[in-house]
Amino acid sequence: MKRLAVYCGSATPADPSYVQLARQVGEGLAKRRIGLVYGGGRLGLMGAVADGALSAGGEVIGIIPQALVDAEVAHRGLSELHVVTGMHERKRAFTDLSDGFVTLPGGTGTMDELWEALSWAQLGYHADPVGLLNANGYYDHLIAFWEKMGEVGFLRAQHRDLLIVADTFDALLDRMADHRPTQPIVRMAAEDL
C-alpha cells in the first residue's frame, strides 16, 4: 500500500484522545512511508491526521470541494491540495489516488465515505482493502450492524470480510496488508445474487 485514504471527522470532540489518535495515525503512515489522502481540511480529526503525517515527513494529499475552500477550512500546508467541484468528485479522487481506505471516528460524512468504499468494493469498482479503526469501541454498534446484515442475508457471505476491523492501527494495517479481493457482484451469475 503506497497511499491510503483516511476518512475521519472534521469536528473536534471534547475527548482529546480522538484528536491524539488521528495525529498518531498520520505519524504512523508517514513512518511506514505510506502517503495520506484525506479530505483536505485543517479542522478536527482531519487536521490532526494531516498534521501528524506532515510532522513525520509524510506525503499528504488533500481533496476538498470548492465550497469548503470558500469557507476557509482548507489546510494550506499540504504536499498537494486538489480542489474539486463537489463530494462525488472528491470520493472518486479518494478511490483513484489510494490503495486502500481507513476509517477513524467521525460523523455522517465519515459514514458516507465508509459505506461508499464498501459498496464500490462489493460492486467491483475497486478491489482495495477497507479498514475500520475501532478505537475505544467507537464503532462497536456499527460492527454489530454489519454482522446483522450478514445474518439476515442483506450482505452476501463472500462480502462479509470486506470490512476489516481492528482496535489498533498497527493491527489494522497488518490485516489490510493481508486483504484478498472477493468476487464482486458484477462478476456473479444472476442466480447467485
Q: Tens of pLDDT along 59-107? A: 999 999 999 999 999 999 999 999 999 999 999 999 999 999 999 999 9
Listed by start position, the domains of the chain span: 3-192
DSSP 139: T
Integer Cα distance of 105 and 152 in angstroms: 26
> How long a stretch of residues is the chain?
193
3-192 CATH, one of 3.40.50.300, 3.30.450.20, 3.30.70.520, 3.40.50.450: 3.40.50.450
pLDDT, tens digit (0-9, with 9 covering 90-100), for 155-177: 988 889 999 999 999 999 999 99
C-alpha cell, 61? 494529499
Beta strand pairing call for 80-84 and 130-133: unpaired
pTM above 0.85, yes or no: yes
In terms of pLDDT, which residue wins out, 191 or 92?
92
pLDDT higher than threshold 60 for residue 193: no
DSSP H helices, the chain, are 16-31, 44-55, 66-70, 87-97, 108-123, 140-152, 169-177
